[in-house]
Structure 1
Amino acid sequence: MSEIKVLVVEDGDEYLTNLSTFVARGIRYTQAKSGEQACALLPSLQPDLVYLDMRFDRTPIEALLGDLVALTARFNGDVARARAFQQDNQGLFVLRALRDAGFRGPVILSYDFGAEERRFRALSERDPALSYCPDYADADTIYAAIQRAVGRTPA
Structure 2
Amino acid sequence: MDESPETRQRLSDRIEQRQQAIRSYLGRERPRRNRLSNISIVGSALAAMLTAGPAAGGTGFTEAVQGIFSLGDDSVVWRFLCLAAVILSVAAALATNFANSHALADRVTAAETANAQLDGLQDTLNFGHIPIDDALKLYQQYVAQVPFVDQVPSR
Please tell me whether Structure 1 or Structure 2 has the larger radius of gyration of its CA atoms: 2
Greater relative contact order (CA < 8 Å, ≥ 6 in sequence): 2
Structure (1/2) with the larger strand percentage: 1
Answer yes or no: same fold by TM over 0.5.
no
Structure (1/2) with the larger helix percentage: 2
Measured against the shorter chain, the TM-score band is under 0.3
Normalised TM-score (structure 2): 0.24
